[in-house]
Amino acid sequence: MTTFSSLLLILSYICNLPHLANAFFPPIPSIGSPILTKGGAVAYHRQTTLLRQSSSDSESSNTKQPHIVILGGGFGGINTALTLPTLPWSDKCIQPKITLIDKSERFVFLPLLYELCVEDASIDEVAPTFKSLLRDGKLPTFPGLSNLSGLIGASSANDDTDEISFIRAKVEGIDVNNQQVVVSHQSSNNVETIQYDALVIATGAEISLDGVPGASELALPFYTVEQCLELKRRLALLDSYLEKRARNGDETPVNIVVIGGGYSGVELALNLVDRLGNRDDNVHVTLVHRGKQVLQCATEHNRNTGIDRLKSAGVNVITSTSIVEVTPLDKDQGNRCLVKLQCLNNSTENGITSLDTSLLLWTAGATPTSSQNKGIRNSILSRDIMGRILTSPTLNVPEYPTVFAVGDCSRPKKEPYPGTAQVAIQMATVAAWNIYATLVNNNAKSGESLKLLPFTYLSLGEMITLGRNDATISTLGGIELSGAGASWLRRLIYAVRMPTDRQRLSAAVDGTTRKLARGALEAGQRKSKPVDWK
Ligand SMILES: Cc1cc2nc3c(=O)[nH]c(=O)nc-3n(C[C@H](O)[C@H](O)[C@H](O)COP(=O)(O)OP(=O)(O)OC[C@H]3O[C@@H](n4cnc5c(N)ncnc54)[C@H](O)[C@@H]3O)c2cc1C
């Protein structure tokens, strides 16, 4: 793909013009006319009005409404749920009932967790409630005016998403032989069994701290919205501690240690430095990574830019090193601990060093079956060593063809796909089609034999935040950007990737307003800087 077509592709995302973007995607065979959904994934022309009018005969002959249950409402789950009602059900099979189950009441746009942490985005932008998203999904969209309904906040007579109901509950087990899932309701402690005709497992991953003694008690993982809010709270406490310390003339160093030098670790470390600001109070951020180099999986441009920014921000980067133990230090100082590090190039006892740490943050080791999520492990489905469900390329489990897995908890081929939102969103559309095809094929009266589609992944590129006003981007087709412009573009592209029109609009407005406000503030600060007459 040329640079020009890449630019067009990015523009099409920004301007939310799916037909333009569609010109750059290989059409999926045998579904009719594929288009890009406004979320950016491939979907199919909305034929519901026509099909509904012509479908009353077939509806009367097929009486059982199929029940599709989706476990987990992250990128994979919510996009599967929102794509399913857009498929042409009613001429082949009764429009299904769709139930989305999540233990949280909020969908979390994980790539924007840093912004939430450093107060550069609101909770409703980063983590809207499922209730609001599903309500938004009902609003009508008009070609070229897709945000209008969100803008005016109109309610609609269009019932397309009435088929999706949301249950806030934790999945405790999956009984594939009896086609049922067991969930527990946190509010009442009640356990419920829910029957399904097709199941989508999209429960993502979470950080496991099980491997390192002391870590689960003393480290704070950075993966969920709750953990992000806890970090925000601890940073506020740190602010007041530092103020008090400065008043007392205390200059003991304060160490913040981030474990993991992948995308998340680097992004978190740089956003923390930005959040802490230029201060002379002896606060240090250290990034510890097992591999030889941070951002090993990133493009060369992004890796080099990231490494460069870590250097200029003064982050102490320690590579080829793993954590062997975390021990508590001072009960009066909350989570202050000693982090024992082992240099992997040195197997002797001398290779161990210790870091006195005030705040230990963990970004490495995400797995679909962490100890917090035993319920997801609780099934006979085959998994790989990381806990990902082994599926066929069509995203369903060979022995249980009505059970699908998408996103971080799915492994459809030998070489695993990266655990990214991009992969989960693209999988969601293919899974939605394949569920449709499976249910239509299982419906003897439909007389259809639809082909299931294998999942293929198209990487559109990657974006990394390097602070509140800095980012680096490498796109498909070779466009490479960094700096404030890249930061703004990243925010806009993420706004377009939100699951519904209203959320897209509010994220775009919120993100742009904050960027403009920050720009104005920084310009004001530059102007009011005293002149150095020396
Ligand atoms: C801080 C951070 C930054 C990231 N940045 C990027 C990025 O810039 N670009 C990118 O492409 N990817 C990024 N990722 C990765 C990306 O967010 C994930 O790959 C993506 O979210 C996977 O989607 P998913 O649907 O598989 O799972 P998730 O989006 O994690 O959703 C899983 C859902 O399942 C629910 N769930 C889990 N267990 C249960 C249970 N037992 N019962 C009920 N519900 C359950 C959870 O509450 C959650 O809502 C980032 C991840 C993190 C943590």
So where are the chain's domains?
Answer: 3-205+368-515, 215-365
Which ligand 1 atom is nearest residue 409's CA? 26
pLDDT at position 445, please? 79
Please state, as a whole number, how many other Cβ atoms lie within 10 Å of the Cβ of residue 63: 8
Helices first, then strands: H and E counts in the chain: 17, 26
Give the whole-angstrom CA distance, residue 330 versus residue 337: 7
- How many angstroms separate the alpha carbon of residue 59 from the centre of ligand 1? 37
Whether ligand 1 lies within 6 angstroms of the CB of 128 is answered as no
What gap in Å lies between CA 233 and CA 243, rounded to an integer?
A: 16
Does the beta carbon of 113 sit less than 6 angstroms from any atom of ligand 1?
A: yes
Contact 212, 371 (CB under 8 A): no
Q: Which amino acid is at 164?
A: I
509 Cα: distance to centroid of ligand 1 (angstroms): 24
Choose which residue among 224, 420, 455 to substitute to test ligand 1 binding: the one with the highest number of ligand atoms within 8 A of its C-beta: 420
What is the model's pTM?
A: 0.84
- Binding site membership of 36 for ligand 1 (Cβ less than 6 Å): no
Q: Establish whether residue 38 lines the binding site of ligand 1, counting it when its CB lies within 6 angstroms of any ligand atom.
A: no
The closest residue, in CA terms, to atom 51 on ligand 1 is 110
Asked if residue 370 has its Cβ within 6 Å of ligand 1, the reply is no
pLDDT at position 92: 80
Ligand 1 centroid to Cα of residue 113, in Å, is: 11
| CA 244 to ligand 1 center in whole angstroms | 38
Q: Does any ligand 1 atom lie closer than 6 A to the CB of residue 424?
A: yes
* Residue among 279, 237, 303 at smallest CA distance from 462: 303
| Separation between Cα atoms, residue 193 and residue 171, nearest integer Å | 10
Q: 75, 427, 429: which to mutate for ligand 1, most atoms within 8 A of CB?
A: 75
CB 223 less than 6 A from any atom of ligand 1? yes
- In the reported structure, the alpha carbon of residue 438 is separated from the centroid of ligand 1 by a whole-number distance in angstroms of 26
Q: Which residue has the tokens 């150095």?
A: 532
CA distance 487 to 478: 18
- Strand locations in 248-288, DSSP E? 254-259, 283-288
Cβ–ligand 1 contact at 262 (below 6 Å): no
Residues of the chain with pLDDT under 70: 1-63, 136-162, 279-281, 331-334, 346-350, 372-377, 523-534
Q: What is the per-residue pLDDT for 2?
A: 44
* Contact (CB, 8 A) for 368 and 205: yes
Cα–Cα distance measured from residue 94 to residue 439, given in angstroms and rounded to the nearest whole number: 10
Nearest CA to ligand 1 atom 39: 203
For ligand 1, say whether the CB of 221 is within 6 Å of any of its atoms: no
In the chain, the amino acid numbered 458 is: L
For residue 366, report the distance from its CA to the centre of ligand 1, in Å: 10
Determine the straight-line distance between the first and last CA of the chain, rounded to whole angstroms: 53
Atom of ligand 1 nearest to the CA of 464: 8
From ligand 1's centre to the CA of 75, what distance in Å? Answer: 7
CA–centroid distance, residue 251 to ligand 1 (Å):
40
Nearest to 495 by CA among 36, 19, 40: 40
Note the pLDDT of residue 137: 60
- Do the domains spanning 3-205+368-515 and 215-365 agree at the CATH topology level? yes
- Whose alpha carbon is nearest atom 44 of ligand 1? 102
User: What is the strand order of the sheet 337-343 is part of?
Assistant: 321-328, 337-343, 352-357
Task: Kindly state if the Cβ of 171 falls inside 6 Å of ligand 1.
Answer: yes
Instruction: Among 203, 208, 272, 496, name the best residue to mutate to test ligand 1's pocket (greatest count of ligand atoms within 8 A of Cβ).
Output: 203
Q: Is 196 in the pocket of ligand 1 (CB under 6 A)?
A: no
Tell me the Cα Rg of the chain: 25
Check the CA dihedral 119-466-216-379 and report its sign: positive
CATH of 3-205+368-515, one of 3.50.50.100, 3.40.640.10, 3.30.465.10, 3.20.20.140: 3.50.50.100
Q: What is the pLDDT of residue 367?
A: 87
The dihedral sign for the CA sequence 53, 54, 58, 64: negative
CA dist 216 to 212, 221, 329, Å? 8, 9, 15
The two three-digit tokens of residue 410, written as one number: 């799915």
Contact of 319 with 341, CB cutoff 8 Å: no
**Cα–Cα distance between 318 and 138 in angstroms, integer?**
50
Going from the Cα of 419 to the center of ligand 1, the distance in angstroms, rounded, reads 9
May I ask the CATH architecture of the domain 215-365?
3-Layer(bba) Sandwich (3.50)
For residue 205, how far is its CA from the centre of ligand 1 (angstroms)? 6
User: Number of C-alpha atoms within 13 angstroms, CB side, residue 103?
Assistant: 18
Angle at 298 between CA 296 and CA 302, to 5 degrees: 120
